[in-house]
């Protein structure tokens, strides 16, 4: 059945951009405020789910060729690597470090190694959530 859903497709383009922006904001504010990799990953995954609901799976997969199973595996690898790396430098598992850097556009900015761990969590959550939604949609 081919339904003319022009309004849904048009509105979803703008809403996906807003959701992605909010998800990235939640991700980067996570180590100082509520948010982080898990909730940022959930919000970003909801943008992907909205795209899959607005368009069919084949159209989104052609436009966005991401293997979400590999993405979740990459996230686990990144999170584990960021946890194990300090052990090679004499630190404890999952110990972090941070510093303040003067970046050209942003000015004085705090950069922490926990952001690498949070990126791994976010990628894992995005991959798992989208895989679950896609596997449920294939069962119909």
Q: How confident is the model at residue 98 (pLDDT cuts 50, 70, 90)?
A: confident
Give tens-digit pLDDT for 23-79.
998 988 876 777 788 999 999 999 999 999 888 888 888 888 899 999 999 999 999
Other residues' Cβ atoms within 10 Å of the Cβ of residue 114: 18
- Domains of the chain: total: 1
Residue 1 has pLDDT above 50, yes or no: no
Residue 48's domain spans which residues? 5-138
Q: Which residue has the higher pLDDT, 137 or 35?
A: 137
The pLDDT mean for the chain works out to: 88
For 80, the token pair is 């584990």
Please tell me the distance from the alpha carbon of residue 109 to that of residue 4, in angstroms, as a whole number: 48
Q: What is the mean pLDDT of residues 75-88?
A: 93
- 94 in the Ramachandran plot: left (φ > 0), alpha (ψ -120 to 50) or beta? left
């Amino acid at each position: 059945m081919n339904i003319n859903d022009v309004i849904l497709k048009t509105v979803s383009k703008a809403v996906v951009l807003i959701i992605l922006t909010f998800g990235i904001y939640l991700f980067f504010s996570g180590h100082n405020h509520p948010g982080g990799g898990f909730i940022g990953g959930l919000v970003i995954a909801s943008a992907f789910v909205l795209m899959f609901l607005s368009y069919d799976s084949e159209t989104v997969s052609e436009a966005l060729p991401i293997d979400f199973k590999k993405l979740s595996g990459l996230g686990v690898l990144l999170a584990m690597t960021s946890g194990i790396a300090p052990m090679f430098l004499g630190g404890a598992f999952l110990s972090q470090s941070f510093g303040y850097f003067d970046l050209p556009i942003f000015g004085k900015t705090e950069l922490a190694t926990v952001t690498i761990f949070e990126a791994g969590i976010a990628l894992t959550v995005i991959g798992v959530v989208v895989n679950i939604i896609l596997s449920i949609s294939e069962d119909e």
